[in-house]
Structure 1
């Protein structure tokens, strides 16, 4: 997650959003956005969610598809009515941001 999110305590609805985002699979890699480390932060206030995220590459052709899936996943959570996605490029994503699960699934060791 982004530096500003490190150590942030999530509310229950924000935790529920993160769980829901685990259902959004990157079609190229076959791993969910959360375990890939692409979701940097989630904030919910007044039934509105802002998802701060990145993509594996700036020119990723799946950005629109993923945005639609993310919005659907987020707004399916009780307590969330609307969603905005803040796409950021800093910090730049790299494979070290992936969870152990994602690394094992992709055959990345070390």
Structure 2
């Protein structure tokens, strides 16, 4: 699978990870800051709506499991960041 297709598959998998506070997936909420794929290795950078979110580790682990399950991904890593801070402007239009 070419890197662009694998990246698209990773993003699709992240759409299956739902933020329980909003009922929306990570991509729709604009929580995914970066997806990099190279030689089967997928690295995702995501954030949460607040720095002290009690669900941060659950969302990170859920995202990592979803990415690891994508056919063609041989290594998955998901890192959390709060730089830049998330704002509601990142939410996809029509999400609510």
Q: TM-score higher than 0.5 here?
A: yes
SS in 2 for 1:66: helix
Q: Extract structure 1 runs of 4+ deviating beyond 2 A.
A: none
SS in 2 for 1:11: helix
Tell me, in whole angstroms, the C-alpha distance in 2 between the residues paired with 1:24 and 1:86: 15
Q: Is the 8 A contact 1:35 1:101 kept in 2?
A: no
Number of residue pairs matched by the alignment: 94
Which residue pairs with 1:47 in the alignment? 40
Tell me, in whole angstroms, the C-alpha distance in 2 between the residues paired with 1:45 and 1:95: 30
| Deviates most, 62-71 or 27-36 | 62-71
Which residue pairs with 2:16 in the alignment? 23
Tell me, in whole angstroms, the C-alpha distance in 2 between the residues paired with 1:17 and 1:83: 10
Q: Is the 8 A contact 1:44 1:50 kept in 2?
A: yes
Match among 53, 77, 84 for residue 91 of structure 1: 84
Alignment of 1:1-110 (within 5 A): 11-102=4-95, 105=96
Aligned-residue CA RMSD in angstroms?
1.2
| TM-score (ref. length: structure 2) | 0.90
| TM-score (ref. length: structure 1) | 0.80
Extract unaligned runs of 5+ from structure 1: 1-9, 106-110
